[in-house]
Amino acid sequence: MHEFLKRLPKVELHLHIEGTLEPELLFTLAERNGVMLPYASIEDVYAAYDFSDLQSFLDIYYQGMSVLQKPEDFYALAMDYFRRASDEGVVHVEMHFDPQAHISRGVGLSTILEGLSLARQEAESELGLSSALIMAFLRDRPAAEAMQVLESAKPYWDILDAVGLDSAEKGNPPEKFSEVFGRAKQIGIPRVAHAGEEGPVDYIYQALDLLDVCRIDHGVQCLQDPALVERLRHQGTVLTVCPLSNVRLKVVESMQAHPLPQLLDAGLVVTINSDDPAYFGGGMLANFMACHQAFGWQEAVFCKLAANAIDNAFMGEVRKAQLY
Ligand code: ES4
Ligand code: ZN
């Protein structure tokens, strides 16, 4: 099954590029940029990656990205990830990036996007790996700041495939970002949002009704509300589910206890994704393998999951036809 899953052309719809920062590159960039890290060794780093919830992860994740300062740092981050992903059979990646987490440290949008754009071009030409770009707003920061980021991104609007909403979910309802997402819609930028990861089902309704999103990132809490499940099924709304992430952030107790089989049984459009592979124990292949081991899924299920991701990617019809 490992060989089959490795060769299966995989499309990743839910990935935070800052969450692909492996400890080795973390140390390299820290040295290059003169950043002090609270770790003496790689073992120290992994020992710190013992999370109790989303917030305990986010604290470490924002600290890690302080080493990203120049265009070449963002280039190295993305290119390293694209090579690893390509090696495990990923053919297309839709990556979130968090501009506010960099702008607040004095690193501008042009720096971030110069590095990411070069890596995307190289991945396409050298690895045959296509990608999409999702600019995410930090929901635990003020909505006015998100609006400012969206407006200041005007020179880049045409390279954004979507805007997203991430970071600490509880206490930061989608409702807070109605205006920002309304503006994105007016500009013509598609929308996705994290909802129902740790937060209540009401946040999934809000993401649908107030942000007009085409995908729900995570959404695993929807099973608490049969009417919502029926709506998601009827509309064909995609859920970008991240099983290893959910285990590591204690959203679920174990892979065996993960609701993925119920989500599929309910007829929902499910995809499997890695979220933050450097922090949660692996990329797409590790997530697929974990599902095989926990649920005993065979080839046909994985083909369906892979097809769901192709069908719902921000990808032209020609590329979709190539991947089928
Ligand atoms: C995230 Cl797992 C998760 N949830 C919400 N926001 C995030 N940003 C990066 N990873
Ligand atoms: Zn995520």
The answer as to whether 145 is a domain residue is yes
Identify the pLDDT of residue 265.
98
CATH of the domain at 228: 3.20.20.140
> Which amino acid is it at 68?
L
Judge whether 98 is annotated as a binding position.
no
- What's the domain count of the chain? 1
**What atom of ligand 1 comes closest to residue 280's alpha carbon?**
2
Identify the pLDDT of residue 27.
98
The answer as to whether 305 is a domain residue is yes
Cα of 321 to ligand 1 centre, how many Å? Answer: 31
Q: How many CB atoms lie within 10 A of CB 188?
A: 8
Range of the domain at 34: 2-310
Mutate to test the pocket of ligand 1, among 192, 240, 276 (most ligand atoms within 8 A of CB): 276
Cα of 233 to ligand 2 centre, how many Å? Answer: 22
Judge whether 276 is annotated as a binding position.
yes
- Strand order from edge to edge, sheet including 90-97: 10-16, 90-97, 130-138, 162-166
The answer as to whether 38 is a domain residue is yes
Residues in contact with ligand 1 by the CB-under-6-Å rule are 16, 19, 54, 61, 166-167, 194, 197, 245, 275-276
The answer as to whether 294 is a domain residue is yes
Among 126, 197, 198, 317, the active-site one is: 197
* Ligand 1 atom 3, closest CA: 167
Cα of 217 to ligand 2 centre, how many Å? Answer: 7
d(CA 211, CA 222): 17
d(CA 122, CA 128): 9
The answer as to whether 323 is a domain residue is no
Nearest ligand to residue 244 Cα: 1
Cα of 98 to ligand 1 centre, how many Å? Answer: 10
The two structure tokens encoding residue 20: 């692909």
> Which amino acid is it at 309?
A
The answer as to whether 222 is a domain residue is yes
Whether the Cβ atoms of residue 86 and residue 43 lie closer than 8 Å to each other: no
Judge whether 16 is annotated as a binding position.
yes
Identify the pLDDT of residue 270.
98
Identify the pLDDT of residue 146.
99
Nearest to 243 by CA among 298, 176, 289: 289
The answer as to whether 315 is a domain residue is no
Each residue's pLDDT tens digit in the chain (324 positions)?
999 999 999 999 999 999 999 999 999 999 999 999 999 999 999 999 999 999 999 999 999 999 999 999 999 999 999 999 999 999 999 999 999 999 999 999 999 999 999 999 999 999 999 999 999 999 999 999 999 999 999 999 999 999 999 999 999 999 999 999 999 999 999 999 999 999 999 999 999 999 999 999 999 999 999 999 999 999 999 999 999 999 999 999 999 999 999 999 999 999 999 999 999 999 999 999 999 999 999 999 999 999 999 999 999 999 999 998
d(CA 134, CA 191): 9
Identify the pLDDT of residue 50.
97
Identify the pLDDT of residue 101.
98
The answer as to whether 320 is a domain residue is no
Catalytic-residue membership of 197 = yes
